[in-house]
Amino acid sequence: MFGWLAVSSLLFLVSACKSEYERVRVSGNPDLILTKAFEYYEKEEYQRAQSLFELVLNNVRGTERAERANFNYAYTHYHMKEYLLAAFYFRNFANTFINSQFREEAAFMSAYCNYKMSPVYRLDQTNTQKAIEEFQLFVNLFPKSPRVQECNNLIDEMRSKLEEKAFSEGELYFDLRQYQSAVISFDNLLRDYPESPDAERVRYLIAKSSFSLSENSVVEKKNERYNETMTRCNDFLEKYPQSKYAKEIRDIHKKSEQAIKNLRKRLKST
């Protein structure tokens, strides 16, 4: 008996809450709808708050409550993990409400939403690039913000992800024996990330790729490419004379040098 009464009471309360929301939603009263949207937002009922904000954002444009309504509306998308929409509305807020006390936070959140959409390094990194750009823009616009250090930390994190992707792509080309593409990919990595912790292995793989490319080239290109390989080997040994790869790199250099001598002998004999 008591259990049935408890369930009935709960159903009545749920029904009452629902009917209140529906009553407000169809009331056609912008002030009431906005007030309730704020209330639902504070209660963390973001779906309902979002639905009500959407009904009245155009009506409150230019009023004192428009700023807070648009800011909270952007946050409803964020709290519901709708990061693409949240990024759009935060960015729109920052560009529209130039003098708002919330502009700095909106600018940060726009970048942060792109950060939240940044996938694992093996996937497309468009959102990662966009987040980096927006965090850098934030630092330029708000250099005294307490969030600057957080932005720099997140930028470093995402650059490491891009670097990991670049290294993975270079290794893939190497494993597929596409040596020219491997060299280009690894060169780009060193250009974009000169302080990479993988720089030693990258230069080692460049030398190996360059040698393999030379070995598999047509006769007309062999001399040039073996010379390039020797240059790559010299660069490596100059930077990492004590490397665990040093012996192998010296062997590659010696083989390239001998290959050039053999080519010259062959040319003289023809």
pLDDT at 62 over 90: no
> Which structural domain, as residue segments, surrounds residue 103?
81-176
Output the pLDDT for position 1: 46
**Residues 195-244 pLDDT 10s:** 999 999 999 999 999 999 999 988 889 899 999 999 999 999 999 999 99
50 plus 65 within the same structural domain = yes
Q: Domain for residue 255, yes or no?
A: yes
Instruction: Give me the number of domains the chain comprises.
Output: 3
Predicted pLDDT of residue 11: 52
* Domain CATH code at residue 235: 1.25.40.10
52 and 88 part of one domain: no
Instruction: Summarize pLDDT for 154-185 with one digit per residue, the tens.
Output: 999 999 999 999 999 999 999 999 999 999 99
Question: How would you write 162-221 as a 3-class SS string?
Answer: HHHHHHHHHHHHHHCCCHHHHHHHHHHHHHHCCCCCCHHHHHHHHHHHHHHHHHCCCHHH
3-state secondary structure of 28: coil
The pLDDT tens digits for 68-120 are 999 999 999 999 999 999 999 999 999 999 999 999 999 999 999 999 999 99
- pLDDT band at residue 2, thresholds of 50, 70 and 90? very low
pLDDT over threshold 60, residue 10: no
196, 230: one domain: yes
Same-domain pairing of 94 and 64:
no
100 sits in the region (left: phi over 0; alpha: psi -120 to 50; else beta) called: beta
Burial 105-117 (b: 16+ CB within 10 A, else e): bbbbbbbbbbbbb
Asked if residue 6 belongs to a domain, the reply is no
Inside any domain, residue 135 = yes
From the DSSP assignment, how many helices (H) and strands (E) are in the chain?
A: 12, 0
- In a domain, residue 247? The reply is yes
Please give the pLDDT value at position 14: 53
Diameter over CA atoms, the chain: 109
Q: Are residues 233 and 204 in the same domain?
A: yes
User: What residue has token string 């800011």?
Assistant: 71
Chain centroid to CA 186: how far?
20
105 and 153 belong to one structural domain: yes
In a domain, 8, yes or no: no
Question: Is residue 1 a part of any domain in this protein?
Answer: no
Is residue 111 within 8 Å of residue 134, measured between CB atoms? yes
Distance CA 158, CA 164 (A): 10
* CA 229 – CA 206 distance, rounded (Å): 9
Single out the residue in 176, 207, 222 at which a domain terminates. Answer: 176
Please identify, among 126, 158, 176, the residue that sits at the C-terminal boundary of a domain.
Answer: 176
Greater model confidence, 1 or 100: 100
Among 135, 160, 176, the domain-final residue is: 176
3-state secondary structure at position 57: coil
Q: Locate 232 and state its tokens.
A: 């790559």
- Which percentage of the chain shows pLDDT scores above 70? 93
CB contact set of 164 (below 8 Å; sequence gap of 6+): 121
Distance CA 16, CA 10 (A): 10
Check: pTM over 0.75? Answer yes or no: yes
